[in-house]
Amino acid sequence: MLFGRHTKNPIRIPVKPVAKWAYTTCGYCSTGCSIEVGLDAHGHAVTARGVADAPVNAGKLCLKGIFKHELFTSANRGRVPLTRERSYEPFRETTWGTALDKTAAEIQRIQSTYGRDAFAVVSTGQIMTEEFYTLGKLTRGVLGTNNYDGNTTLCMSSAVSGYKRSFGSDGPPGCYDDFDHTDCLLAVGSNLPEQHPVIYWRLKEARDRRQFPLIVVDPRVTVFAQMADMHLPINPGTDVVLLNSLAHVILKENLHARDYIAAHTSGFEEFSKLVGQYDPTTAARLCGIDEDSIRNVARLYGKAEAAMSIWTMGINQSTHGSDGVVAINNLNLVTGNIGKPGGTSLSITGQCNAMGTREFSSCSGLPAYRALENDADRAFMADYWGVDEEFFPTKRGLFQTDIFPAIETGQIKGLWLIATNPMSSMPNTARIRKTLEKLEFLVVQDAYADVETTQYAHVYLPAALWGEKEGVFTNTERRVNIVRRAVNPPGAAKPDLWIFNALAKRFTKPAKLRFPETPAEVFEEMRTLSNGRLCDYSGMTHGAIEKNRGIQWPCNAAHPHGAPRLYTDGGFQHADGKAKLIPLPFVDNNERPDGHYPFWLNSGRVVEHWHTRTKTGKIGNLNKFSPTPYMELNPSAAERLGIRHMEYVRVVSRRSDAVVMAQLTERVAPDAVFIPMHFHECVNRLALGLLDPHSRQPAFKQSAVRIEKIADQKNAALANLVARAY
Ligand code: SF4
C-alpha cells in the first residue's frame, strides 16, 4: 500500500496477508484497548489493529499495541520447564511432571519444616482474572500461606487503600466518559500521554470539543503538563499539602457542597479543622509554588458544575501515597463530585489486569472484595469452597514489600513468583539480589526464560502469554473485556490456569474443592460469587463481553448492560452508608537532598516501554525509539557540573550507583533529575523506596542522589550497555 506521495520515493506500507482476525484485549496497560490480532493462512500472527467499534479505543492503539503481535515470536520465550538443585548450577531442561513434582515437594517440605507461612507467593497484574481466582483458591484453600500478594503493591496499593479508607471499598467510581461531562480536570502525578496514550486521546478529544480547564500537578514539565492550562510544579512529596490547601480555600470561600456533605459524608468537623491550618500562604511555601495559583485552582474546581481528578504513580508511589488518594477523595467529596457525570475521583490503574487481581485473586482478602477480617465473608467462602473456615487467616498477611524483608530475616524460606520480576521492579536492587540468594527454594513462572529474577531460581515454569490463552481483564474504568486465544503457546509453555490446576492436583485437598479446567467454567464461579457484591459480574458471560467489547461492573439484573459509575445515589460501602472525610496532617518523612546528595531523583515511564522491558525490550521498533537508559538534567545544573548533553554520567545514591546518558532539558528543576523506570540495573539500584504505612507501597519517586562526571566515556558507554542488554 502506498502512503503519502505516490511518485517520488513513496512510503510503502506492506500489506499483511490476513486470513482471520482474533479479538483480544491489550495486555500491557490498564486502558483496556480492544485489539484484533491478524493471522495469516498458517495461523501466524502478522499484524494487530484497534477494534473500531470498541468503546474504549474506537480503533486507536498506542505504539506498544501496534506492535503487540510481535510478542508471540519475540526472543527468549520459555519453551520448556527448567530445574536445578542450586541456583549457581546450570539449568537442566525437564518435563512438566518433574518440574511440578519438585515444586510441590519443596512447598510441602518448607511448610512442614517451618510452618505454612514460610512459603510465600507473589503474583502480578498481568494474568487473566480466571487465573487470579484459581491462584487465590490454591493459595488460600490449599497451601494456606498468608504471605501472598501481587506486584500491584508497587503500583496500585495506595489507590486501593485510599478508596477503602474514603468509600469503604476498593473500586474506581468513574469512567472515561466522564471526560465528556466534566467542567474541570485536575491531574495529579500523572503523565497520561506517555503512560496511557489512548486514555489521553479520549481526554484530548473531549477537551477539543468542550474546552474545559486542565490543571496538571507534577514536579516535572511532563508532556501532559505542556498540554495543560495550568501546571503546578510542586516540590516532590508535597501533594497532600496542596490538596489540603485547595480544600481550605473551597471551604473558606463557601464553595463546598453543603447538602451533599451533610447527607453523604462523615467527619466533616475534624476535616475542616485540619484543612483550616493549610492556608495558601503557608502551603505555597511548602509546595514551592505561588499562593495565587492555589486559590485560582481551588476556585476553578469549587465553582465547576462537575469536576474530576485523575492520578497515577506520582500520588501512589510515595511515603504518603494512601493519604494522597484520600486527599483527592476528600476534595471530590466536599465539592459533591462523586458518582455524577464528569464528577469523580478516578485512579488511572497501571497493569492491564491490576483490577482483576484486586477483585478476585484473594491476595488481600477473599474473592469479590470479601475481607479475611470479616467473619461472615470467611464463613461464606469456606462453605463455597468446602474448606475448613479455621484454615483461613483472620487478617491479611505480608505485602510484597514486606515479604522480601521477611526473607532477609529468615521468616520466609520459599517463594513462588508469577509474572513478576523483582530484580528490576523493586527498589534497592542490591538488597533484593541478596534476599533472593537466601531462599531455600525459588520458583519463577513467566512467559520469558530470561527474566532477570530467573537467575536465582531453582525451578522455571514457562507460561503462555496474553493472546495464547483465554480469559478476562478489567480496565481502569471497571470494564471487563475478553482475550481470545489467537495463537498457541511456544514449545511446552502452558497457560497459567493449566499450571495452577496441575499444581493443585499434587496436594491433598478437601473433596468439595474443585479446580475447573476451562476459563469459561472458572468464570461461572466468579459470576456466582460476585452476585450482589459491588464488583458484580452476575449479568456477564464471555460471549456478551466480546459482543459489547467489554462490560463495566456492576452488571446484574438492575444494570444488565453494566454501569459506568459507582455511588450515584450517594450511598457508600462503610457501615453507616457514608463516605469518610479524613483529616490528613502532612508528614514529611522522605529521603531529601542534602549537601552530599543534592538532587531529587524522580522516576517514571516512557511511551515505548512497558515496566521492566521483559516484553518491549525485545520488540525492534520500541527499542529503536527508546534504546538507552537516560537521565533528564537541567542545563544550569549541568553547566555547574561540567556535563554536556549526551555525555555518560554516574548517578550515586546511598544504595548504589548507575551509569546513564545525560539529556539536558528544562523539563526538570535545577535540583532534580528524572530517570525512566524500565531499565534493569538502573534507577531501582538508586531508589530507597520507603514504604507507605497504609498501603506498603514504596516511594520510588523521592530519593536523593549526586551526579559525577565520568572522564572515560568509552568505558561508561559499556557500563550503560549493561542496562540495555536485558
Ligand atoms: Fe495497549 Fe495501553 Fe497502548 Fe491501549 S494504551 S494499546 S491498552 S498499551
Which residue CA neighbors atom 3 of ligand 1 most closely?
Answer: 62
pLDDT for residue 669? 96
Mean pLDDT score of the chain, rounded to an integer?
94
Give the pLDDT confidence score for residue 608 in this predicted structure.
86
Residue found under cell 499539602: 241
- For residue 541 the three cell numbers come to 458471560
| Residue 107 in this model has a pLDDT that exceeds 90 | yes
* Contact (CB, 8 A) for 274 and 584: yes
Distance from Cα 610 to the centre of ligand 1, integer Å: 10
Residue pair 660/685 in contact by the 8 Å Cβ criterion: no
Q: For 44-78, write each residue's pLDDT tens digit.
A: 999 999 999 999 999 999 999 999 999 999 999 99
Phi and psi angles of residue 206, each rounded to the nearest 5 degrees, phi first: -65, -40
Tens digits of residue pLDDT in 404-419 = 999 999 999 999 999 9
Name the CA dihedral angle for 185, 187, 191, 193, rounded to a multiple of 10 degrees.
-10
548, 53 in Cβ contact below 8 A? no
Find the 137 Cα to ligand 1 centroid distance in Å.
30
The pLDDT of residue 4 is 63
pLDDT digits (tens, 9 = 90+) for 11-35: 666 678 899 999 999 999 999 999 9
- Specify whether the CB–CB gap between 52 and 68 falls below 8 A: no
In order of 41, 210, 217, 580, 585, the CA distances from 297 in angstroms are: 57, 19, 11, 23, 21
Asked if residue 108 has pLDDT above 50, the reply is: yes
Choose the residue to mutate in 31, 67, 479 for probing ligand 1, maximizing ligand atoms within 8 Å of C-beta: 31
Pocket test for ligand 1, best of 24, 29, 70, 71 (most atoms within 8 A of CB): 29
Give residue 704 CA to ligand 1 midpoint distance, Å.
32
- For 285-316, the pLDDT digits (tens) are 999 999 999 999 999 999 999 999 999 999 99
Cα dist from 316 to 87, 127, 174, 471, 474, whole Å: 35, 22, 18, 28, 20
Residue nearest to atom 2 of ligand 1 (CA): 29
Please determine, for residue 724, whether its predicted confidence score (pLDDT) is greater than 60. no
pLDDT band at 444 (very low <50, low <70, confident <90, very high): very high
Mutate which of 24, 25, 33 for ligand 1 pocket (most atoms within 8 A of beta carbon): 33
Is 480 a residue whose pLDDT tops 60? yes
Mind giving me the DSSP string for 389-415? Answer: GGGS-SS----HHHHHHHHHTTS--EE
Note the Cα 624 to chain centre separation in Å.
25
Task: Tell me what pLDDT residue 255 has.
Answer: 98
Kindly give the number of the ligand 1 atom that is closest to the alpha carbon of 57. 4
Q: 154 CA distance to ligand 1 centroid (A)?
A: 20
Q: What is the pLDDT of residues 187-233, one digit of tens each?
A: 999 999 999 999 999 999 999 999 999 999 999 999 999 999 999 99
Buried b (16+ CB within 10 A) or exposed e, 383-411: ebbebeeeebbeebbbbbbbbbebbeeeb
SS3 548: helix
Question: What's residue 13's pLDDT?
Answer: 64
User: Mind listing the pLDDT tens digit for each residue in 151-195?
Assistant: 988 989 999 999 999 999 999 999 999 999 999 999 999 999 999
Distance CA 305, CA 311 (A): 21
Average pLDDT over residues 488-513: 96
For the packed helices 280-287 and 239-252, what is the interaxial angle rounded to 10 degrees? 160
pLDDT at 576: 98
Query: pLDDT class for 323, splitting at 50, 70, 90?
Result: very high
Q: 226 Cβ partners below 8 Å, 6+ apart?
A: none
Spatial separation of the C-alpha atoms in residues 482 and 27, rounded to whole Å: 11
* Percent of the chain's residues with pLDDT above 70: 97
- From the CA of 31, give the closest atom in ligand 1: 7
Summarize pLDDT for 237-277 with one digit per residue, the tens.
999 999 999 999 999 999 999 999 999 999 999 999 999 99
Q: Which residues line ligand 1 (CB under 6 A)?
A: 26, 28-29, 31-33, 61-62, 64-65, 196-198
Question: What does the alpha-carbon distance between residue 522 and residue 595 come to, in Å, rounded to a whole number?
Answer: 57
Measured CA to CA in angstroms, residue 381 lies from 118, 168, 365, 371, 515 at distances of 24, 20, 11, 10, 15
Confidence of residue 612 (pLDDT cuts 50, 70, 90): confident
pLDDT of residue 309: 98
Least confident of 232-246, 360-374, 615-629, 695-709: 615-629
Chain segment 613-629, per-residue pLDDT in tens: 888 888 888 888 888 88
Q: Closest by alpha carbon to 443, among 82, 133, 77? A: 82
Best of 61, 481, 606, 613 for a ligand 1 pocket test (most atoms within 8 Å of beta carbon): 61
How many A from CA of 605 to the centre of ligand 1? Answer: 14
Mean per-residue pLDDT, 537-543: 97
Confidence (pLDDT) at 726: 46
Q: Residue 720's pLDDT band (boundaries 50, 70, 90)?
A: low
Of residues 425 and 14, more confidence is placed in: 425
